[in-house]
Amino acid sequence: MKKHVRLTLAAMAVALGSCGGGGGGSGITVGGSGWNLVAAGDIAQCGSGPASASGAWQTANLVAAALTVAASDAAVLTLGDNAYEDGSSAEFTACYEPTWGRFKSRTLATPGNHDYQTAAATGYFGYFGSAAGAGASGYWRTDRNGWTIISLNSNIDTSAASAQATWLSGELATTQPCLMAVWHHPRFTSAARGDNLFMQDIWSLLRTARADVVLQAHEHHYERFSPMDATGAPDPDGPASFVVGTGGAALSDFSTVHTGSVVRVRSHGVLLMKLAAGRADWAFVNEAGTVLDSGAVTCRSK
């Protein structure tokens, strides 16, 4: 039976390393060597209530606890649907800013479909500025600590002939030894809405480049998959993938369990990651401070 570890926010400042690793690792220590990331999508949904009553308020407390002890270069990685319902400037101000907005200077942003409910995602791009990438393409790259992170925009054309795929192909020719890609709509999911086939060409490019990790959101729960190819067949050379739509928006249920689905959690929370030379350690922590899944990924030769 998998061991769950309950952590107070203060205890998170010490370690998340006592949890048995669901992916074969021993958990993650916040701080220490390596680049720390805190990731989730589907975040700020306040409705008519105050931000302090939202799920995003609770997950923001987890982010704050992790960043308190992490190195100064630690970053927050959003996985889309940052402000509900329409990604308007007013919604970013009223709901995102009081919650995850406190980490804006340390945020790397990714857009989701709700961000595009405002035409051209002007609320999103206006709020995040350079953290959303150059111009209004919604995709970007950063390199740090032996890792390349590529954020893609699943709200625009992702076909093999698209400008985005052409850009990605060029970037994949010059990556660091470890490679992570992030976007909003999951290629594979056990949610009722089903797989997003329009991400298949992107996945194929990443598989060929021997990408190590893919992070996505859109479905409002946590799910981890074993490595798969672009069609969904088991593939030891495919990336490890996660759906982390747990940043605060109303939670959603699972439907038929997808091939390759290893862990499924219906809870708000964040994915803590430490990107070190040749590996990534990770832990999913719910809003109560309990580590529900953890492990490690070893980077492949490129």
Determine the average pLDDT of the residues in 122-137: 95
Q: Report d(CA 151, CA 258) in Å as an integer.
A: 25
Q: Would the pLDDT of 14 be above 70?
A: no
- Give me the residue spans of the domains in the chain: 16-276
Q: How far is CA 226 from the centre of its chain?
A: 16
Cα end-to-end span (Å), the chain: 35
Give the rounded percent of residues in the chain with a pLDDT score beyond 70: 89
Give the pLDDT confidence score for residue 30 in this predicted structure.
55
**What DSSP element (H or E) covers 163?**
helix 163-172
And the tokens for 4?
A: 């769950």
Among the ranges given (18-32, 150-164, 225-239), the one the predictor scored with the smallest mean pLDDT? 18-32
CATH number of 16-276: 3.60.21.10
Tokens of 95: 């709901």
Give 142's Cβ-side CA count (13 Å radius): 18
Mean pLDDT, all residues of the chain? 92
Q: In 3-state terms, what secondary structure has residue 31?
A: coil
Distance CA 276, CA 33 (A): 7
- The span from the CA of 57 to the CA of 259, in Å, is 34
User: Which pTM does this prediction carry?
Assistant: 0.92
**How large is the average pLDDT for residues 83-89?**
99
> Which structure tokens are listed for 277?
């030379």
Share of the chain above pLDDT 90, in %: 85
Closest by CA position to 102, among listed 64, 56, 46: 64
CB within 8 A of 154, min separation 6: which ones? 80, 183, 184, 185, 196, 198, 199
Instruction: Examine the pLDDT at 22 and tell me if it is beyond 50.
Output: no
Average confidence (pLDDT) over 73-88: 98
List all residues 6 or more positions away from 101 whose beta carbon is below 8 Å from its beta carbon. Answer: 92
Question: Based on the number of CB atoms within 10 Å of its own CB, is 170 exposed (0-12), middle (13-18) or buried (19 or more)?
Answer: exposed
pLDDT at residue 216 above 90?
yes
Report DSSP letters for 73-109, one per residue.
T-EEEE-S--BTTT--HHHIIIIITTTGGGGGGGEE-
Mark 179-188 as b/e (b = at least 16 C-beta within 10 Å).
bbbbbbbbbb
The three-state secondary structure class of 295 is strand
